[in-house]
Amino acid sequence: MNYFYKKYIPYLFILPAMVFLTVFFFIPFFQTIILSFNDYSNDIYNPVFTGFDNYVKLIKSSEFYTTLINTFLFLLMVVPFLAVFPLIVAIFINRKIKGISVYKVLIYIPVVVSIVVVAIAFKWIYASQGILNYIVQKIGFMPVGWLTDTKFALFSVALVTIYKGIGYYMMIYLSALIGVPQDLYEAAEVDGANEFYKHLTVTVPQILPTIALVVTISSISALKVFAEIYVMTKGGPLNSTKTIVYYIYERAFENLDLSMASAASVVLLIVILIFSVINITFFENKRYKL
């Protein structure tokens, strides 16, 4: 069946991509692990092997502990919302109504705009005398320091991540909704189910794998949050918005503490690896099958 080709041909085609993946993925991956077992603080060119010392230091550091808690709190704020709300939007957009795709384009706009601009726009909305505090006061509450109060800052940042993600996950849900057989809805209608109940009993079970997929992808991207925090709070106030990637960035590029940055990177690698393995073995195994 296969036409003839010389034995080395396949490798020749793969080689260029492999060179780049090796230089910019595989080598850095192993280097991160090696760096995390060495101490660079005395002489950056003559590291000392210190075993698990960096990890012990990391575990004992209350700053890193806060960082981890913040990261998971952030994940818990973002993921449930991004799993549910885009699905509701997608169900509405999936209706066959003339001109409905205009909404799809409008709702997708925040996805294509740079996160830096989105974060700046929200910083303006969150300003102490800004528009959000006006609305808050109008409905009878005290104005809030959205980005300056330790109780609210992480939530405020999470809202930006949610806002930026709605259109993206809506598209994933839309492509799943197209695959739901129409006759299932007709059967539910015959049984007298209302609109809400119809989607609860037909749509949700039918696209359950996609919901699970959205939960894992949005978890992974929540764990990687950086730009929102960098632009809006720089991890503050009092570390209340410092998440793991921001911590790594700060250690590596501001404090030049290669060892601690790498140990934290390995922690991030392990956490994301767990999510990815769950994702690939349960939800995307068909997608990546040989």
Within 48-87, the residues that bind other proteins by CB under 8 A are none
Q: Does the footprint of other proteins cover residue 130 (CB under 8 A)?
A: yes
CB of 125 to other proteins, least distance (A): 6
Part of the chain binding other proteins (CB under 8 A), chosen from 20-28, 46-54, 57-65, 186-194? 20-28
What are all long-range contacts of 242-250, with beta carbons under 8 Å and residues at least 24 apart? 242/63, 242/66, 242/67, 242/70, 243/67, 243/70, 243/71, 243/74, 244/67, 244/68, 244/71, 244/268, 244/271, 246/67, 247/63, 247/64, 247/67
Q: Between 153 and 229, whose beta carbon lies closer to other proteins?
A: 229
**Using CB under 8 A, which of 129, 139, 151, 196 touches other proteins?**
129
Residues of span 174-203 touching other proteins by CB under 8 A: 174-175, 178
**Nearest-10 Cα torsion for 224, 227, 230, 235:** -30
The only residue of 83, 207, 215, 245 in contact with other proteins, by rule CB under 8 A:
245
Among residues 112, 139, 142, 190, the one that binds other proteins under rule CB under 8 A: 112
Of the candidates 104, 148, 180, 206, which one interacts with other proteins according to CB under 8 A? 104
Task: Return d(Cα 204, Cα 201) in angstroms, integer.
Answer: 6
Asked if 172 interacts with other proteins (CB under 8 A), we say yes
Query: One symbol per residue from 214 to 233: x for binding other proteins (CB under 8 A), - otherwise; what is it?
Result: ---x--xx-xx-xx--xx--
Q: Is residue 255 part of the contact set for other proteins (CB under 8 A)?
A: no
Q: Which two three-digit tokens encode residue 182?
A: 């129409």
Q: Which two tokens stand for residue 47?
A: 């590291």
252 binding other proteins? (CB under 8 A): yes
139 binds other proteins (CB under 8 A): no
Whose Cβ is closer to other proteins: residue 204's or residue 280's? 280
Please, which contacts does 234-239 make with residues 24 or more away whose CB atoms are closer than 8 Å?
Answer: 236/153, 237/147, 237/148, 237/149, 237/150, 237/153, 238/150, 239/63, 239/66, 239/67, 239/70
- Of the pair 163, 185, the CB lying nearest other proteins is at 163
**Is residue 140 left, alpha or beta, with left meaning phi > 0 and alpha meaning psi from -120 to 50?**
left
**With respect to other proteins, which residue has the nearer C-beta, 151 or 287?**
287
